[in-house]
Amino acid sequence: MRKHTTHPEALESRIAPASVIPTISSDGHKATWTDVDGDAVTLLITKGTLDETNIDLEGAGGGAVLQGLFLTDVDFKGTSITITAKPDKIAGGDAAVNVGYINAAGNSLGAVKIVGDLSRIDAGIVAPTATTPLAIVSLTVNSMGLYGDSNLDAPAPLVSEIVGKVGAVTVKGAVEGVLFNVTGGTLGSIASVKIGGSLIGTSGADTGRIVTTGNIGSVIVGQNITGGDGQHSGSIEVGGIVRVDGMLGIATVLGNLSGGTQQNSGVISAGGGAGTITIGGSILGGSAGADAGAVLIGGNVVALSVKGDIIGGGAQRSGYVEVTGNTGKLAISGFLIGGSVPDSGVVALGHDATNVVGSFTLGRDLIGGTGEDSGVVQMDAIAKLAVFKGGIIGGNGEDSGKVLFNGGATVATIAGQVQGGRGSGSGTVSGGAAISALTISGSLIGGAGTGSGNVLSTSTIATLTILGNVVGGDLASGATSDSIESGYIQAKSIKALTVGGTVRTGVDYDATHDLINSGAIRTEFNFGSITIKGSLEGNATQRALITASGQEVVPVGTRNNFAITTLKIGGAVRHADLLFGYNLTNDRTAAAENPDAQVGAVSVGGDWVATNLVAGIAYSAKFGDGNDTLAGGVDRLDILARISAVAIRGQVLGTAGSSTDQFGIVAQIVSSVRLNTTVTGPILISPPVGVPVPPLVTVPAPAGAVEIALNPGKGNDNNPANPLTNLGSTLDVRVFEVL
């Protein structure tokens, strides 16, 4: 019978140690010898016939080390292998035997069980088919790779090449420095992997790594997955070598998933999607090399749970989670923290709006780092439910500490505050498609960076609720550029906006540069209602700003074009411009574009100080001075720029002693203005298309209310000298109508 006599090749010339001849049974199914530490070792097979050429024993200590077991002859096809060790009463031993290499290339194996460490194993038939037996029915060992150098005289990576299907792989302890590579296209699969200890990468590339071209049914790692200094070290990749869409069924890592110093270290990757993935600890980004400390799913995932934090490192896409398909449920119990380089500390879900995120939960704060786009949740999929139990905090990096609902969202809640940082675009929530409901339980606070501390959407937000304040950022003295958009709200349209506290602009401390859209609220088209329970507070350096241009589409036959239907402010309004018929141009003096814009009911619970309210009127440095004109743009003659009702409970004031300013409530028609009351008076309601505008209904004013005497019709209250339309004691706040 032909026997295989090839042994592992030594890396360097050395004096060969004495070989040891095992004792082999008469049927060739059993071999015995003494291990290096005194154990009595027994090797059992079920098929084929062993002789000394199949077993490479290298003399060492008081016995021998099993360098290799060679079972490539066809006689050994399908054989099971059991290697055990029993301590000798005199010589001692540890009841474990370390095995260098099992070479069954070209053959399938049955159950392989080694009570000890295994460095390498090859098995499987080239070009397997669906009817080919499993390459290995099962593999059970104490550990893998812990004694590779001494067992095999070979450094890491200790490569195991398996072609075809593998059953259950069970490692009671750790896996270190090995590459367990399963190929064979879609048939290159593993039923399950269970590692009692850690999966550890070392300094060599592809160390501490499990790779398949097909599926893995389930993976359990009892401790950590740890990348080393080698590329792809400390990783599990399903369908990754030839990019067959391999599916990862269930993966459980009870400890941390940690990136190392090289690319793709500390990684779980599945090219064809995954079932349930659980990380019992944290995902920790590595210090160098992309995708160090990452979960990368190329398809759908049923559920992904991280019990600890996700922390970006010093490498791009470190501390990174990506799902390109649908996500059923994703829950992170701790923080999501950006790192020092771009795209670190990131969760990216979905390819586009054809994908769905069922639910997303972050248990603590989302915090941007110093790297660009670090500390980011990006959902290109539609987010049905997104819950942030902490805040969204911008960092020093550009666009750091950010949530992007690019695919839109149904319900999104943020329990803490949204706060900008020093980085431009940091500490923001943005939407690229419709958001049904967004609630921020804390405040929206602009930071030092341009575009920081914002809520932005290029589409519609149905309901936006901020239970705290909206606070614009300041522009510091000595700034090198303008500061644009901090503590800022902007959308295509907002149906209902509620602010539980005060809206306050920042302060421009710099004499050279401008503070723009600080603490401002603007839509491209229209608002349904705005409710600010506190005050709207601008200042002498930065006026508060609310703008909207009007309805995106005004059907033929309707005479309504409301830029806002209801504006209710519980406290005072100071140093504010409420400009309707205006687009999103940063320079408000050039933003007027709709001469048909209309305003419904406006009510203010406190004072009205140095404030303008206009509908369809071109910008003026002195509104209400008699020089106001309609805004540019297409003027439908059947639609009039209208302010339906204004009710102000407190005082109306301009700026005492100043002759250089003027403030106004200006439109073509101002239907009702009442002072010292919270009753809003007559309100226009948009009728269905084709139905005439209903007549105004007069609401009786309560005792103490002052009804400003206004003439019916458009452009009739156009005398700036008329004392009846002068609303305050400072003589610089007027109601004015243009033709």
Q: What is the mean pLDDT of each run of 10 residues along the chain (739 residues)?
A: 37 54 97 95 98 93 92 97 94 92 97 97 95 97 85 70 98 96 95 96 92 94 94 86 66 96 92 95 93 94 98 96 98 98 98 97 98 98 98 98 98 98 97 97 97 98 98 95 97 98 97 96 98 97 97 92 98 98 96 98 97 98 94 94 96 83 96 76 40 45 76 91 87 94
DSSP one-letter code for 711: -
Q: With helix as H, strand as E and coil as C, how does 470-497 read?
A: EECCCECCCCCCCEEEECCEEECEEEEE
Q: Do β-strands 673-675 and 493-499 pair in parallel, antiparallel, or remain unpaired? A: unpaired
Query: Is residue 83 a part of any domain in this protein?
Result: yes
Short-list 662, 580, 664, CA closest to 616: 580
What is the distance between the alpha carbons of residues 366 and 575, in angstroms, rounded to a whole number?
34
Q: pLDDT at position 396, please?
A: 97
What is the distance between the alpha carbons of residues 302 and 295, in angstroms, rounded to a whole number?
14
Structural contact between residues 328 and 353, judged by C-beta atoms closer than 8 angstroms: no
What is the distance between the alpha carbons of residues 403 and 362, in angstroms, rounded to a whole number?
12
> What do you get for the CA distance between the two ends of the chain, in Å?
110
Short-list 606, 623, 609, 622, CA closest to 654: 609
Structural contact between residues 407 and 432, judged by C-beta atoms closer than 8 angstroms: yes
The pTM assigned to this predicted structure is: 0.90
Q: pLDDT at position 239, please?
A: 76
HSE, side-chain direction, 13 A CA sphere, residue 482: 10
Burial 56-95 (b: 16+ CB within 10 A, else e): bbbebeebbbbbbbbbbbeebbebbbbbbbebbeeeebee
What is the distance between the alpha carbons of residues 211 and 193, in angstroms, rounded to a whole number?
11
Range of 119's domain? 1-155
Query: Is residue 38 a part of any domain in this protein?
Result: yes
Residue 706's H or E segment, with its range, is strand 706-707
What is the distance between the alpha carbons of residues 592 and 641, in angstroms, rounded to a whole number?
13
Amino acid making up residue 66: L
Query: Is residue 686 a part of any domain in this protein?
Result: no
What is the distance between the alpha carbons of residues 444 and 485, in angstroms, rounded to a whole number?
12
What is the distance between the alpha carbons of residues 46 and 78, in angstroms, rounded to a whole number?
8
Which residue matches tokens 């389930």? 218
Tokens of 125: 């038939």
Q: pLDDT at position 429, please?
A: 98
Query: Is residue 370 a part of any domain in this protein?
Result: no
Query: Is residue 432 a part of any domain in this protein?
Result: no
What is the distance between the alpha carbons of residues 83 and 63, in angstroms, rounded to a whole number?
16
What is the distance between the alpha carbons of residues 164 and 105, in angstroms, rounded to a whole number?
11
Residue 647's H or E segment, with its range, is strand 642-648
Q: pLDDT at position 682, please?
A: 42
Query: Is residue 260 a part of any domain in this protein?
Result: no
Amino acid making up residue 98: N
DSSP string for residues in 299-335: S-EEEEEESS-EE--SSTT-SEEEESS-EEEEEE-S-
Dihedral Cα 611, 616, 617, 618, nearest 10 deg? 110
Q: Measured in whole angstroms, how far is the alpha carbon of residue 408 from the centre of its chain? A: 13
Short-list 62, 70, 74, 73, CA closest to 31: 70
Q: pLDDT at position 90, please?
A: 84
Query: Is residue 712 a part of any domain in this protein?
Result: no
Structural contact between residues 200 and 221, judged by C-beta atoms closer than 8 angstroms: no
Query: Is residue 491 a part of any domain in this protein?
Result: no
Structural contact between residues 500 and 532, judged by C-beta atoms closer than 8 angstroms: no
Number of structural domains in the chain = 1
